Chains A and B, each alone.
Chain A
Amino acid sequence: TQLLEQSPQFLSIQEGENLTVYCNSSSVFSSLQWYRQEPGEGPVLLVTVVTGGEVKKLKRLTFQFGDARKDSSLHITAAQPGDTGLYLCAGKSSPANEKLTFGTGTRLTIIP
């Protein structure tokens, strides 16, 4: 069974600070996705990373896929209250397998 552990589980920081969320596994994934979910809603896809070592930027969010494709990180610069939410990583074991394994989640709260 593939497991994705996210850390930290909870994070509460002041507006303007930087933060990093980690997503780790002992298994290799063909691709990894990051989602943000708000209360009472479904997850919304932020990014998909496919290549080991890949770095993708989405405004103030920077996503990195580990060289061995077993881990990933999400870095947010100058956090804003609108960044508050549950951040989930999810991996696919192979390109042909559409099933996603979700991480344990990181609940982020940005204090104005």
Chain B
Amino acid sequence: GAVVSQHPSWVICKSGTSVKIECRSLDFQATTMFWYRQFPKQSLMLMATSNEGSKATYEQGVEKDKFLINHASLTLSTLTVTSAHPEDSSFYICSASNRETYEQYFGPGTRLTVT
């Protein structure tokens, strides 16, 4: 089956530092990956669409200079939270769209805590 991994699964960082989260499609190629943010007891909120080889498309209200997205290959997208603050603490989930079937598969999520 289609598997999407995220690394790390959880991370604690100090305020002002940057954190990189990786999203990998393990057994399929994904021209498009998506990054979501989920606050406790809430639904998923789309942050940005990551396209292989081109710039990411950010949703309204998401700061592109704060949440840097790189999609350098058909199996890897990264989200870097720059100059993290406690309000950036959240559960970040990626999904990858199979370039052949267009089905979207979700990663297990990364819990970020900024102290």
Interface residues of A (CB under 8 A from B): 35, 40-45, 48, 88, 98-105, 107
Report the nearest B residue to A105, measured CB to CB.
Answer: B43
For B108, list chain A residues within 8 Å (CB).
Answer: 41-42
A43 and B38 alpha carbons, distance in the complex (Å): 11
Q: A43-B44, A104-B43 are in contact. Are A98 and B106 (CB under 8 A)?
A: no
Q: DSSP majority for the B interface? A: strand
Q: How many residues of B sit at the interface, in one of the four size bands?
A: 20 to 34
- Report if A40-B104 is in contact (Cβ < 8 Å); known contacts: A88-B43, A100-B34: no
Q: Give the residue name and chain of the A residue nearest to B46 (CB).
A: A99
- The answer to whether B106 and A102 touch across the interface, beta carbons within 8 angstroms, is no
Q: Do A42 and B93 touch (CB < 8 A)?
A: yes
> B49 touching A99 by the CB < 8 A rule?
yes
Q: Name which residue of chain B comes closest to A106, CB basis.
A: B43
Which B-chain residue is minimally distant from A48 (CB atoms)?
Answer: B103
- A41 and B109: CB pair below 8 A? yes
B41 pairs with A98, CB closer than 8 A: no
